[in-house]
């Protein structure tokens, strides 16, 4: 039997951050990973996606400057950019494991399962620990339909060796929008099939409609209110079948959500309760077994399932475990972003929330296309909705622009640190930039 102070299950952003914090807190630590060291974000999520987006952004810039210095819109060469992405992702697993080795954290690769409240079994050996941290993340869900074996997921899309002539995404959430936009920049025929007519349902519908219009203008074909019933393989691709709907396509990516990776862990043996939404945790991120914590995408929570949230929870849970805090977890404002063309982002109080409580909130809508920062890039759409409380303090924002990824972070700082307009104007920002515009937004 092997003994550790703490065992972490999952070597993604949450698990790695937890392991390092526990080790630097003086604990003996082991991490178990059953797939790629580094987890979803750097191997099959945020980072490879955003590397591919670099090419889309370059193309968008050129497209916006037609007749203003440029006269052709090049397609993105998929094989080249995919290989560029690979130069980054191929080093992640060894780099992630190497970091743990150098820190003196033991690593084990393969499947482990709980056999009691404080033991797991791995390779016919029993491992005991005083505490466990479960950070097993999520994996893509696949529709339960006839022909589901013909569906691929974001995992395979991000490493396709060749972009097919036509590609179809089922779903209209973050993944479908982001990957459809990338495929479109290569010149592929792109379809997006959705079971209702409310894509990106967590976002302001007016801005989503603008984003859909932009993507349509680039040639992406949206098929709303189509309930996918079956996928049939044929000689030269697949047919997606819905009620009164048929679509022939070369490849189909299922992007209908992600599910917690709990199967195989035998959580019941450790007294840990969970549901289809994830592992149940309390305000200290303890599971129903108080010695076992769960963090990151694998937990059932209302906060968005994102890398920085996973890291925040890892720091909190392990600080709590180390006795560094006794407070319940308290999340700061969490920005969320859809990396399309343009990018859509929100933080804090949402537009529907503000609309439902006009006595509490004021919404200031701005068309930013004429503002210098956006005008110089000739952005076709750039808009913001900033939400203020009764004290004129900004409490929420939704923005739609190519530069939303930078803008939303500045707005997040202002919301989180309660920076007023008067305070902001006391600072000097580099000009002309997204940051220097902020004094006119908040």
Ligand X SMILES: Cc1cc2nc3c(=O)[nH]c(=O)nc-3n(C[C@H](O)[C@H](O)[C@H](O)COP(=O)(O)OP(=O)(O)OC[C@H]3O[C@@H](n4cnc5c(N)ncnc54)[C@H](O)[C@@H]3O)c2cc1C
Ligand Y SMILES: NC(=O)c1ccc[n+]([C@@H]2O[C@H](COP(=O)([O-])OP(=O)(O)OC[C@H]3O[C@@H](n4cnc5c(N)ncnc54)[C@H](O)[C@@H]3O)[C@@H](O)[C@H]2O)c1
Alpha-carbon distance of 94 to 11, in angstroms, equals 12
Interaction of residue 286 with ligand X, rule CB under 6 A? no
Applying the rule CB under 6 A, the residues between 132 and 161 that interact with ligand Y are: 143
Cβ distance to ligand X smaller for residue 169 or 371:
169
Binding to ligand X by residue 46, rule CB under 6 A? yes
Q: Nearer Cβ to ligand X, position 120 or 434?
A: 120
Q: Does 11 bind ligand X (CB under 6 A)?
A: yes
Considering only residues 248 to 277 of the shown chain, the ones binding ligand Y according to CB under 6 A are 255-258
Least Å from the CB of residue 370 to ligand Y: 28
- Binding of ligand X at residue 8 (CB under 6 A)? no
Site for ligand X, residues 82 to 141, rule: CB under 6 A: 111-112, 135-138
- What are the distances in angstroms from CA 186 to CA 49, 241, 340, 438? 14, 26, 14, 34
Single residue of 4, 6, 8, 13 touching ligand X by CB under 6 A:
13
9 contacts ligand X (rule: CB under 6 A): yes
Half-sphere exposure of 18 (CA within 13 A, CB side): 37
> By CB under 6 A, is residue 82 in contact with ligand Y?
no
- How far CA 11 is from CA of 15, 44, 89, 124, 237, in Å, comes to 5, 13, 15, 21, 36
Q: Is 170 in the site for ligand Y (CB under 6 A)?
A: yes
DSSP assignment of 299-340 equals B--SS---HHHHHHHHHHHHHHHTTS--SPP------EEE-S
39 near ligand X (CB under 6 A):
yes
- Minimum distance from CB of 304 to ligand Y (Å)? 6
| H or E element that contains 398 | strand 394-401
Q: Are the C-beta atoms of 414 and 428 separated by less than 8 Å?
A: no
Query: 419 and 429 in contact (C-beta within 8 Å)?
Result: no
Minimum CB separation of residue 70 from ligand Y in Å reads: 28
Q: Does 228 bind ligand Y (CB under 6 A)?
A: yes
Q: Is 30 in the site for ligand X (CB under 6 A)?
A: no
Q: Note whether 41 binds ligand X by CB under 6 A.
A: yes
- Binder to ligand Y among 337, 349, 368, 408 (CB under 6 A)? 337
Which C-beta is closer to ligand X: that of 35 or that of 437? 35
Report 145-174 residues binding ligand X (CB under 6 A): 154
According to DSSP, residue 75 is labeled P
- Pairing verdict, β 237-242 and 125-134: unpaired
CA torsion, ordered 145, 237, 245, 180, to nearest 10 deg: 90
Does 29 participate in binding ligand X (rule CB under 6 A)? no
Q: Residue written as tokens 């991000």?
A: 158
Query: What number of other Cβ atoms are within 10 A of residue 46's Cβ?
Result: 18
What is the spatial distance between Cα 43 and Cα 297, in angstroms, rounded to a whole number?
15
**410 sits near ligand X (criterion: CB under 6 A):** no
Check binding of 15 to ligand X (CB under 6 A): yes
Sign (positive/negative) of CA torsion 50, 52, 53, 55? positive
Query: Which residues are at the interface with ligand X (CB under 6 A)?
Result: 9-15, 32-36, 39-41, 45-46, 49, 111-112, 135-138, 154, 175, 261, 264-265, 296-297, 305-308, 310
Query: Which residues are at the interface with ligand Y (CB under 6 A)?
Result: 143, 170-176, 178, 194-195, 228, 255-258, 304-306, 336-339
């Amino acid at each position: 039997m092997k003994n550790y102070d703490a065992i972490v299950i999952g070597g993604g952003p949450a698990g790695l951050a937890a392991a390092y914090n526990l080790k630097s807190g003086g604990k003996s630590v082991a991490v178990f990973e059953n797939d790629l060291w580094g987890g979803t974000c750097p191997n099959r999520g945020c980072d490879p996606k955003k590397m591919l987006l670099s090419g889309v952004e370059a193309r968008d810039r050129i497209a916006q400057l037609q007749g203003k210095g440029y006269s052709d819109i090049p397609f993105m060469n998929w094989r080249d950019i995919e290989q560029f992405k690979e130069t980054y992702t191929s080093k992640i697993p060894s780099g992630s494991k190497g970091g743990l080795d150098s820190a003196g954290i033991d690593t084990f690769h393969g499947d482990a399962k709980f056999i009691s409240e404080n033991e797991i079994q791995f390779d016919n050996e029993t491992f005991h620990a005083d505490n466990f941290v479960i950070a097993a993340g999520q994996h893509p869900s696949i529709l339960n339909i006839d022909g589901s074996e013909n569906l691929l997921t974001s995992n395979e899309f991000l490493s396709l060796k060749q972009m097919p002539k036509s590609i179809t995404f089922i779903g209209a959430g973050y993944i479908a929008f982001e990957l459809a936009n990338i495929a479109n920049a290569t010149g592929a025929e792109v379809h997006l099939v959705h079971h209702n007519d409310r894509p990106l349902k967590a976002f302001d519908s007016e801005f989503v409609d603008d984003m859909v219009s932009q993507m349509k203008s680039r040639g992406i074909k949206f098929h709303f209110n189509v309930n996918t019933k079956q996928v049939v393989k044929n000689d030269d691709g697949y047919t997606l079948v819905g009620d009164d709907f048929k679509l022939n396509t070369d490849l189909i990516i299922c992007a209908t959500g992600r599910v917690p990776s709990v199967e195989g862990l035998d959580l019941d043996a450790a007294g840990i309760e969970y549901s289809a939404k994830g592992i149940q945790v309390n305000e200290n991120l303890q599971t129903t077994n108080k010695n076992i914590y769960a963090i990151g995408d694998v937990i059932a929570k209302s906060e968005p399932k994102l890398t920085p949230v996973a890291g925040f929870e890892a720091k909190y849970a392990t600080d709590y475990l180390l006795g560094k805090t006794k407070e319940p977890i308290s999340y700061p404002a969490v920005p969320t972003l859809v990396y399309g063309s343009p990018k859509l982002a929100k933080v804090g109080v949402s537009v529907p929330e503000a609309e439902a409580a006009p006595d509490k909130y004021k919404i200031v809508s701005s068309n930013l296309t004429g503002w210098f920062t956006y005008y110089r890039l000739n952005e076709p759409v750039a808009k913001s909705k900033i939400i203020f409380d009764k004290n004129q303090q900004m409490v929420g924002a939704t923005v739609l622009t190519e530069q939303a990824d930078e803008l939303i972070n500045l707005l997040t700082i202002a919301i989180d640190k309660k920076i007023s307009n008067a305070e902001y104007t006391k600072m000097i920002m580099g000009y002309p930039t997204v940051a220097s515009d902020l004094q006119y937004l908040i």
